[in-house]
A and B are shown apart, each in its own frame.
Chain A
Amino acid sequence: MSTTLVEMSEFLQKGRVKNVKELIQKALDEGIAPKTILEEGLLSGMSVVGEKFKKNEVFVPEVLIAARAMNAGTTMLKPYLVQEGVESKGTVVIGTVKGDLHDIGKNIVKMMMEGKGLNVIDLGVDVSAEQYVTAAKENDADIIACSTLLTTTMGEIKNVVDLVKAEGIRAKVMIGGAPVTQDFCDSVNADSYTPDAATAADVALSFCL
C-alpha cells in the first residue's frame, strides 16, 4: 500500500485533522483513486480505532477525535467520490429511542458505521417509532438502528419493530445500549443486537451486502 495512505490512516487514528487533509491532497496529487483513498486511508484507520475501542485499549475521546478526522477527510473527498460515481454501501437511520436522551453510545455507533462507508442519517434523541419508520421510508434505508440506555425506554424498541413489520418496510432493526441483551432482542424480534459499536458496524455492513 502507498506510504501516503499508511500515514493517513495513522494520523486519522490520532485524530489529526490537518495532517489527514494534507495527506489527502498529497494522495490525490499522486494520482491515487479517491475510492482507494477513502477505503485504505480513512476507513481502514477508523476500523483500527473501532477494534481498539472494543478491546478497551482506547476510549470514547479517542474514537471521537478519530471520527472527526475521518469526517473532515470524507467531506474533502466527497466531490471526487461523486465525480467517480462512488456510492455509499448502504443507508442507516439511527437514533436514541423515545423518552431517552443518552446519546454518547448512539454517536459512537454512528461513527463506526460511517467508518464502514455507510450513509448514516442521525435522527438524534427521543425518536418515536413513527419517526424512525418515516425516515427509513424516505431514505429507502437498509437499517434502522435504535439505541437505549434506560430500562424504562427499552419497550420503545418493540414499538419500532412492530411498526416496521406493520408497514412492511425492508429495513432491518438493529438494537443496542447498556441494558439491552440478546434475550431482549429475541423477545422483541429485532434483527440484531450487538454489545459494542465496532461489531454493530460489521453487522450493519453485512446487512447491506
Chain B
Amino acid sequence: MERTSRQLVLDTLNFKNTDGRVPRQIWTLPWAEFTYPEMFKKIQDDFVWDFGGPQTTYEKLPKTQGDAYEVGTYVDEWGCIFTNIHRGIIGEVKEPIVKEEDWSDVGNVHIPEELLTFDIDKVNEACKASDKFMIAGCCPRPFEQLQFIRGTVDLYMDLMDPPKKMLEFMEKMHDFYCRLLTKWAQTDVDALNMMDDWGSQNALLINPELWDKYFRPMYKDYIDIAHKHGKKMFMHSDGYTLDIIPRLIDLGLDALNCQIFCMGVEKLKQFKGKITFWGEIDRQHLIPNGTLEQIDQAVKSVYDNLWADGGCIAQCEFGPGANPDNIYQIYKTWESIR
C-alpha cells in the first residue's frame, strides 16, 4: 500500500525516508493568487501536497479589525495596529500600543485568551478525515509580537535593559503561548509550529547572548510541550540565522524553515541529518530573476547537501515578485530527483 502523506513526512523528519519522494508544501501569499490565478491553480492541481491544517471553530474569537492583507489599517488579536500599503502582503506597526519607556501602559495589550476556546473535537475530526501531515492552527512568535506591541526600534532598545513591567509581560505572554500550545498538543495534529525572524541578510538581528537569555528558554518550553505530547515541532525564521541553528538543534527542533540561500547551502551542510530543512528556495534573487536551469541547480544543491534519508521538505513561497514559472519548476525538479 502506498504510504500516506502523514507517514511520508514523519519518515522524512525521522531520517527514515529511504525510498519515498520528498514531501511537498507550498506557501502562498494572497498576492500570488490574484496576480497569477492560472499558475496558482495549475500548481495546486499538478502535484500531490502533503501538509494540511485542521479547520476548527472557536467559542469566542478575539476582536480584530480589517484584513491583514488589504490596504489600510489592520488591528490584530493583541490590539496591535498595522498600516498596510500593499494588497496581498502584510503591513507594519506604526503606532505601538506600549508607548511608555517603563511599560506602565502595558495593560492596554490584550492577551488573546479567546484563542484557547477552539473546539478540540473539530480538530480531531479534521485530522481523522485527512491523511495529510497536520500542523496546528497556532503559531507563537514572541519576538515579533513584542515588536508589534512596542514598535521595532523601541523593542530592540528595551531588550538591552528590559524594564520590570516588560519582563513581567513577557512571562505572561509566554504562559499564554504555553497553554495554547499545550491545548493544541492534546489534539490529533502531527506537529506544532512557531516563528520569529532572527536574521538580517548577513547576521543575527540581536546578540546571541540576548537570544540565549530571553528567547532560548521560551523556545525550549514550546519544543518540550510538543515532544511531551508526541508531536513534532516546526519553526520559521527569516534572515541569516546560522548562529542559532545549532542552538535550535540542541533544543530538539525537528524542522526549520530558513533562508537557506542567504546563508549558503555549503555552510548548512554541517547540519545534515540533524534537522529537517523545511524549504526554501531563494525568493530574493532566484525565484524572481533566476533561469529555469538555475532553479534546477538550486534544488539539486539543497538535495545533495542536506538530504540524508530525510531532512528536506520541498517548499517555497509564492510571494511578491515571484516568477510563476520558477515556482512550478521548483516542484518539477524536486519530483524529478525522487
Contacts and interface: CB of A to CB of B under 8 A. Distances in A.
Interface of A: 15, 56, 58-62, 64-65, 68, 99, 101-105, 107, 125-126, 150-152, 178-179, 195
A58 B207 contact: yes
A61 B157 contact: yes
A151 B285 contact: yes
Interface residues on B, range: 20 to 34
A101 B207 contact: no
B217 interface: no
Contact of A62 (B207, B289, B320): B207
Contact of B206 (A59, A105, A126): A59
B86 A59 contact: no
Interface in B197-256: 200-207, 210
B204 A59 contact: yes
Q: Is the interface of B mostly helix, strand, loop or mixed?
A: loop
Contact of A179 (B202, B210, B284): B284
A152 B321 contact: yes
Interface of B: 83, 85-86, 91-92, 152-153, 156-157, 159-160, 200-207, 210, 283-285, 288-289, 320-321
B200 A64 contact: no
What secondary structure prevails in chain A residues at the interface with B?
loop
B206 A150 contact: no
Contacts, number: 67
Given A61-B156, A61-B207, A125-B92, 13 more contacts: A59-B205, A59-B210, A62-B160, A64-B153, A64-B156, A65-B157, A101-B91, A104-B153, A105-B200, A150-B320, A151-B284, A151-B321, A178-B284
Given A61-B206, A126-B85, A178 B153 contact: no
10 contacts: A15-B157, A15-B160, A59-B206, A59-B207, A60-B205, A61-B207, A104-B156, A105-B200, A178-B284, A179-B284
Contacts of B284: 151, 178-179
